[in-house]
Chains A and B, each alone.
Chain A
Amino acid sequence: MADKKIRILIAKPGLDGHDRGAKVIARTLRDAGYEVIYTGLRQSPEQIVAAAISEDVDAIGISVLSGAHGYLFPRIIELLKEQNATDILLFGGGIIPDDDIPALKEAGVAEIFTPGAPLADITNFLSSRYAS
């Protein structure tokens, strides 16, 4: 059972159609050796969680630029709880005011990366979680 690969679902929930950031993250994680399941734009939290469960991922990363983070993150956490799947880590990034971050973490989001965060912060965060 040596070859356990870490699988990460990258998705873009909600209605804003700007997925450049999500693609950069997907590419970065690929280069760091992760298997990235990229599901693309305009995903509902229900679709994201259903895909994460079928794909048996270790983590979900979402990008939110629309200002709907206060709904989308907690909703995904809630759905993961319903599915008894809280071992799946949720992290994300986007335009999220610093003041909103504590509440998201309180809700169960593992980490939030805001604009300007170096890509290495994200890979370091993941490698500290999944050190082999």
Chain B
Amino acid sequence: MPHKEQPDFQDLLARGQEGDRRAIGRMISRVEASGVADHVMMQQLWAHIGRARVVGITGPPGAGKSTMTDRMVKYWRKKDYRVGVIAVDPSSPFTGGAILGDRVRMNDLALDTGVYIRSMSTRGQLGGLSLACSGAVSVLDACGYDPILIETVGVGQSEVAVMNVADLVLVVSVPGLGDDIQAIKAGILEIGDVFAVNKADLPGADRTARELHIMLSMNPELSADLPPILMLSAEQNKGVEELCESVEERFSLMQNSQELIMRRNRRLEKELMAYIQNRLYKQVLSPALANDSFESNVEAFRTNKRNPYTWAENILKQIQIEGSTP
């Protein structure tokens, strides 16, 4: 079995900050292995983060998110930014395996040392991202990447986890998804800061843009400041520049209005809560369940020999949450 040496995190961070992509890869693997960045990692990363602009790119499968990501990276590379990319694809609910294919559209970025691309699987998470995503963003931020683009899995209507990790969300739509843009109308339509209609060379693109506009105009909270809707063809590299400029403009607006600070505060709160939950589960609940698991009782529940809710209360008692009446 091949052996990987385990340098300590501080070492890796120092190397990563010098642009060593292997060290960055290792740090992100460590974050992934423990689910979220643990306190040892985060205590070291903390002093170095908060500089990167984090852009989430989300939309239905096949909308062209990877191609757009590739073109947007090239735009910022021309301006000499070091760009980080986290591209998420789904994991199998049955085997836990995954095919991460976003790099196929980004191959000519592989040799650019100013770009770091990491493919991640959702590892069972349902919100369009993986649990480790925010930790991976912290690693890239600490290593000086700015902007950082997060490409979500192809989403349906309600996968909005990206809003808890990104500063700004770009929602991608394409023509032909249905009369009322069914695929994006509910959940994810509400989290977009910038909208893109990709494949705008196809028939129906104008209508898709118009329908997006109508839907956004109906939200009274947005009336003063409607999110921009841009038409582009990422494949043909048309309209990408305008899209990136629009993203940059939104960032300056958010900076000036304190919106960015508010969002980052909210993000930090979510992150800390997730961190606490993760630790509680691992260190408190998991051991209690290991002694008296659901699986070993399921037959007794089914045959009425044991009441499942009495069992649940016993577990809570063991971890000293007694007499809990929610």
A interface list, Cβ under 8 A from B: 1-5, 7, 26-27, 29-40, 42-43, 46-47, 50-51, 53-56, 58, 83-85, 87-89, 129-131
| Cα A32 to Cα B95 with chains together (Å) | 7
**Neighbouring A residues of B91 by C-beta, 8 Å:** 35
**Neighbouring B residues of A88 by C-beta, 8 Å:** 2
Query: Do A58 and B2 contact each other (CB < 8 Å), given the known contacts A5-B123, A46-B111?
Result: yes
Question: A-B contact count, CB below 8 Å?
Answer: 106
Q: Of A3, A7, A131, which contacts B35 at CB under 8 A?
A: A3
| Interface size, chain B (Cβ < 8 Å) | 36
Pairwise interchain contact A50-B2, C-beta atoms closer than 8 A:
no
Which one of B96-104, B174-182, B230-238, B243-251 contacts A? B96-104
**Neighbouring A residues of B104 by C-beta, 8 Å:** 38-40
B4 on interface, CB distance cutoff 8 Å: yes
Pairwise interchain contact A37-B119, C-beta atoms closer than 8 A:
yes
Pairwise interchain contact A129-B1, C-beta atoms closer than 8 A:
yes
| Cα A58 to Cα B26 with chains together (Å) | 11
Pairwise interchain contact A38-B100, C-beta atoms closer than 8 A:
yes
B195 on interface, CB distance cutoff 8 Å: no
| Cα A86 to Cα B313 with chains together (Å) | 52
| Cα A50 to Cα B98 with chains together (Å) | 21
Chain B 1-20 interface 0/1 with A at a Cβ cutoff of 8 Å (1 = within): 11110000000000000000
Query: Do A37 and B100 contact each other (CB < 8 Å), given the known contacts A31-B95, A47-B111, A50-B111?
Result: yes
**Neighbouring A residues of B3 by C-beta, 8 Å:** 87
Query: Do A30 and B99 contact each other (CB < 8 Å), given the known contacts A3-B35, A4-B33, A54-B24?
Result: yes
Pairwise interchain contact A29-B97, C-beta atoms closer than 8 A:
yes
Q: Of B22, B29, B103, which contacts A83 at CB under 8 A?
A: B22
Pairwise interchain contact A36-B97, C-beta atoms closer than 8 A:
yes
Pairwise interchain contact B97-A37, C-beta atoms closer than 8 A:
no
Minimum distance in angstroms from B187 CB to a CB of chain A: 27
Pairwise interchain contact A33-B117, C-beta atoms closer than 8 A:
no
**Neighbouring B residues of A32 by C-beta, 8 Å:** 95, 97
Minimum distance in angstroms from A71 CB to a CB of chain B: 19
Q: List 29 A-B contacts (CB under 8 A).
A: A4-B29, A4-B33, A5-B32, A7-B29, A30-B95, A32-B97, A33-B95, A35-B91, A35-B97, A37-B119, A38-B101, A38-B104, A39-B104, A39-B110, A40-B101, A42-B107, A43-B107, A47-B107, A51-B110, A53-B21, A54-B25, A54-B116, A55-B25, A55-B119, A56-B28, A56-B29, A87-B3, A87-B4, A131-B1
Pairwise interchain contact B121-A35, C-beta atoms closer than 8 A:
yes
The 9 closest A-B pairs by CB, nearest first: A56-B25, A30-B97, A40-B104, A47-B110, A33-B95, A33-B97, A87-B2, A56-B29, A38-B101
